């Protein structure tokens, strides 16, 4: 029978309409791969070498169990920074409340003791029911977290907050440490991405109101809340796996499971290398590098389908029947 905490977790997920918005797989330029495997209980993070095999130098035989203090958990995102530290964002449920938690692991998979007890930061705006959607680490050791505020009646609002390099909440950002999308429209955060000049892009979706659709809001360097642009409303196709990227010239939306680059930057169509050969993806997981090339280019480059061949089997069978009928006709009594 489902427990009360697990039931609340499922209810929060249903309220927020939340799929695994953040990246659950990361690939470095040299082909090293990290991935969350949440089919197991507790969830695991694994690292594979360039050959696709589990890396024995990471955790225990290439895998690390994710320690969330025994709480029910919904893992939302995995990022790996330029120092190969792993950042894992999740929502935990306990005592009837949901709370964000960020794990930070060292390159070898051990907890980073400088990031809260046992490498776990539970800093979050007080008195809020929050569901995490994505996180984005920064070069100074801080990170941004995008999530959703869940109201008492199930209403939700896109939110953003910042965790400082020591794992504590930045109370100077937003109001009381959290920014929420203004206005009364229901909305939800979808993803975060690094932009030009140290800015951060927040991709969110307005679920109802005068102009429902996706928006991209910018947080300039040192800003205390997101700016108003670029504001890009657009009708969507109800894809819970939409994410935003800066493609070097403009902000763009992508659809589908996201694979991140090591520094926390989303993998890009133009620069992503083909994923090294490895074991087939397990049930419920996509390949580690779904963005190895532009989908349009890939479709254009695909071999044309082979022309339809004549149905020789049916022709031969028909010929045999005709021959049999002819022989019977010739041999019948006059």
Give residue-wise pLDDT tens across range 263-276: 544 433 222 333 33
How many C-beta atoms lie closer than 10 Å to residue 168's C-beta? 13
Mean pLDDT, residues 280-301 taken together: 31
Mean pLDDT, residues 184-213 taken together: 87
Q: Are 8 and 143 in contact (CB under 8 A)?
A: no
**Does the pLDDT of residue 14 top 70, yes or no?**
no
The answer, as to whether pTM is greater than 0.75, is no
CA-based end-to-end distance of the chain: 83
Q: What are phi and psi of 177, to 5 degrees?
A: 100, 0
**Architecture of the domain defined by 4-302:** 6 Propeller (2.120)
Domain boundaries, the chain: 4-302
How many C-beta atoms lie closer than 10 Å to residue 46's C-beta? 18
What pLDDT does residue 312 have? Answer: 45
| CA quadruple 93, 47, 112, 97: dihedral, nearest 10 | -10
Between 67 and 59, the more confident residue is 59
What pLDDT does residue 103 have? Answer: 93
What pLDDT does residue 334 have? Answer: 54
Name the token pair of 154: 């199930």
Quickly tell me which residue has 């008195």 as its tokens.
127
Ranges 126-140, 193-207, 297-311, 312-326: which has the least confidence:
297-311
Cα separation of 258 and 261, whole Å?
10
Q: pLDDT band for 26, please (50, 70, 90 cuts).
A: very high
H-assigned helices in the chain: 4-16, 295-301, 312-331
């Amino acid at each position: 029978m489902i427990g009360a905490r697990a039931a609340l977790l499922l209810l929060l997920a249903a309220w927020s309409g939340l799929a695994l918005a953040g990246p659950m797989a990361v690939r470095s330029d040299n082909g090293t791969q990290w991935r969350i495997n949440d089919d197991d209980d507790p969830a695991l993070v694994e690292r594979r070498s360039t050959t696709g095999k589990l890396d024995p130098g990471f955790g225990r035989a290439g895998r690390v169990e994710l320690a969330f203090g025994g709480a029910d958990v919904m893992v939302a995102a995995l990022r790996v920074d330029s120092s190969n530290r792993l950042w894992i964002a999740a929502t935990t449920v306990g005592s009837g409340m949901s709370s964000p938690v960020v794990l930070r692991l060292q390159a070898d998979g051990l907890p980073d003791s400088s990031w809260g007890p046992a490498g776990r930061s539970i800093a979050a705006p007080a008195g809020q029911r929050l569901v995490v959607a994505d996180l984005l680490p920064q070069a100074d050791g801080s990170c941004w977290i995008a999530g959703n505020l869940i109201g008492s009646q199930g209403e939700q609002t896109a939110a953003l907050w910042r965790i400082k390099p020591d794992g504590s909440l930045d109370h100077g950002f937003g109001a009381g440490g959290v920014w929420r999308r203004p206005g009364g429209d229901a909305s939800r955060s979808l993803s975060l991405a690094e932009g030009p000049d140290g800015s951060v892009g927040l991709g969110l979706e307005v679920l109802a109101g005068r102009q429902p659709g996706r928006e991209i809001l910018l947080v300039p360097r040192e800003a205390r809340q997101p700016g108003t642009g670029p504001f890009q409303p657009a009708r969507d196709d109800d894809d819970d796996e939409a994410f935003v990227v800066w493609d070097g010239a403009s902000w763009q939306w992508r659809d589908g499971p996201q694979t991140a680059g090591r520094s926390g930057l989303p993998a890009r169509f133009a620069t992503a290398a083909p994923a090294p050969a490895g074991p087939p993806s397990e049930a419920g997981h996509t390949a580690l590098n779904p963005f190895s090339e532009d989908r349009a280019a890939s479709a254009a480059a695909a071999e044309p389908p082979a022309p339809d061949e004549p149905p020789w089997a049916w022709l031969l069978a028909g010929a045999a029947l005709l021959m049999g009928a002819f022989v019977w006709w010739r041999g019948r009594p006059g």
